[in-house]
Amino acid sequence: MSRCVVVGSGAREHALAWGLAKTSDVVVTPGNAGIAAHGIACVEASPLELSADLFVIGPEQPLVDGLADQLRAQGKTVVGPGLEGARLEGSKAYMKEFLSAAGVPTAGFGAFDDEREAIGFLATMQPPYVVKTDGLAAGKGVLVTDDFDEACADVREKLSGAAFGDAGTTVIIEEGLDGEECSLLVLCDGTTTRPLVPAQDFKRVGDANQGANTGGMGAYAPMVAMTPLLVDQVMAEIIAPTLDELLRRGIDFRGVLYAGVMLTSRGPKLLEYNVRFGDPETEVLVPLYGEGLFDLLARVGGGRLDGATLAAQGFAVTVVLAAHGYPQHPRAGDVIHGLGADGQLAEPVEGVIIFHAGSTRDAEGRFVTSGGRVLAITGAGATMAQARERAYRAVALVTFEGRVVRSDIALAV
Ligand code: AMP
Ligand code: GLY
């Protein structure tokens, strides 16, 4: 059996490890208590000290720090771009410059490190006002508001470095776009690109998309509103010029190009690129690909994506259970009820898998909360309605004090 190392400690890595483990031996570093309870090996070791046929890097930070380059320098096969490719996510100012050079449709923007200039530019924009930090901010560095004064205050706070430190000392101000959002995760082996089925993520903390932006409160796939025709359009107008530009810059991008796309009345526009699997998108996508995940990812890392079969089946809905106080001040230490010793449902529901993110075990061996997003509960089924019903049936069985959960994931689909 092939051996595989997954780098990371969230529900995304749990889902990747679970999918890869169907056909390979998987080790996760560092992993978490829920992954280990699910029977997947977790080790506290630098990936550089491990050996495997395939390395899959989950989070953006190690990619931006150059881990994929270091592994490749050791001759390893890796899913995840090197430092140069990761800049597409690591700096929004770089990404916007890249998109302009590539001719990719995106929101108009300005990048500023001077407060007066930033606010002067903001005054020329129409609401909604969009203010972003330049660097990595775990999905929380974006403000979208109709309130001009709130936008100005946000510019000041971000430029002061108070909110995001160095990541925030340049702000991006963008034209506000309107429409449905889609996460299109595109596999790229350096020269060939293939889209996974489109997913939709729910970014706001509250029902009906109210409240603060988060890392993602739930997702479903396939996103039916993103028709095959629209996928083709995004591949032609957004992904193809991006690949051309990557090649022009000499970047051998092997990993996931995650396009955050807004379906505007004037066609699809790119909101942002991430250079990795989405979270919670991965928790809905992995179950759809059955036993095919290892082969697909081995082809991405090995530059053999041309000719791969991508066979997705069924529907999946993921609901995130977040800790009390998420996203601003998540509380740790709340006991999670309804899980068995293996971290899955004590009272199983068909088609449901629980992926762990911010959970750990207390001195008595009970699962307790230890991070913002605690669990991602995925229901899979033959229809979206069945997948959703299963996911929410499981959500009702897993409780902890003050949990933050949306009740409308995939409701309007
Ligand atoms: P980002 O991290 O850039 O994807 O932004 C987080 C979220 O903010 C996106 O998923 C959108 O919901 C929203 N957003 C970002 N940019 C814009 C924009 N230009 N217009 C409207 N909404 C936006
Ligand atoms: N779901 C949003 C992200 O992974 O960045």
What share of the chain has pLDDT > 90, as a percent? 82
State the residue for tokens 């595989």. Answer: 4
Structure tokens at 321: 């259970």
Distance 362 CA to ligand 1 centre (A): 37
- Angle 269-274-278 from CA coordinates, rounded to 5°: 105
Domains of the chain, each with CATH number or no CATH: 3-82 (3.40.50.20), 108-175 (3.30.1490.20), 180-302 (3.30.470.20), 315-395 (3.90.600.10)
Q: Could you tell me which residues are beta bridge partners of residue 3? A: 25
Predicted structure pTM score: 0.93
Give the N- to C-terminal CA distance of the chain in Å, as an integer: 40
Per-residue confidence (pLDDT) for residue 133, from 0 to 100: 85
* Burial status of residue 51 (CB atoms within 10 A of its CB: 0-12, 13-18, 19 or more): exposed
- Say yes or no to pLDDT of 217 above 80: yes
The three-class DSSP label of residue 2 is coil
User: Of the ranges 171-180, 200-209, 352-361, 377-386, which one carries the lowest mean pLDDT score?
Assistant: 171-180
Question: What atom in ligand 1 is closest to the CA of residue 201?
Answer: 10
**d(Cα 404, Cα 413) in Å, to the nearest integer?**
22
Phi first, then psi: give them for residue 396, nearest 5 degrees: -70, -20
Alpha-carbon distance of 328 to 198, in angstroms, equals 29
pLDDT tens across 358-371, in order? 999 999 999 999 99
Under 8 Å between Cβ of 386 and 220? no
Helix (H, G, I), strand (E, B) or coil at 159: helix
Cβ burial of 331 (10 Å; 0-12, 13-18, 19+) is: middle
- Measured in whole angstroms, how far is the alpha carbon of residue 20 from the centre of its chain? 18
Say how far apart CA 157 and CA 146 lie, in whole Å.
Answer: 18
Mean residue pLDDT of the chain comes to 94
C-alpha span between 122 and 124 (Å, rounded): 5
Kindly report, residue by residue over 58-91, the tens digit of the pLDDT.
999 999 999 999 999 999 999 999 999 999 999 8
Ligand 2 center to 363 CA (angstroms): 32
Q: What is the mean pLDDT of residues 44-63?
A: 97
Q: State the distance from the centre of ligand 1 to the C-alpha of 48, rounded, in angstroms.
A: 35
Decide whether any atom of ligand 1 lies within 6 Å of the 181 Cβ.
yes
Question: How far, in Å, from the CA of 371 to the mean position of ligand 1?
Answer: 24
Q: What mean pLDDT do residues 308-322 have?
A: 96
pLDDT of residue 352 exceeding 90, the answer is: yes
Q: Considering only 13-17, 89-93, 238-242, 302-306, which range has the smallest mean pLDDT?
A: 89-93
- Reported confidence tier of residue 163, pLDDT bands at 50, 70, 90: low
Among 133, 144, 263, the mutation site with the greatest number of ligand 1 atoms within 8 A of its Cβ is 144
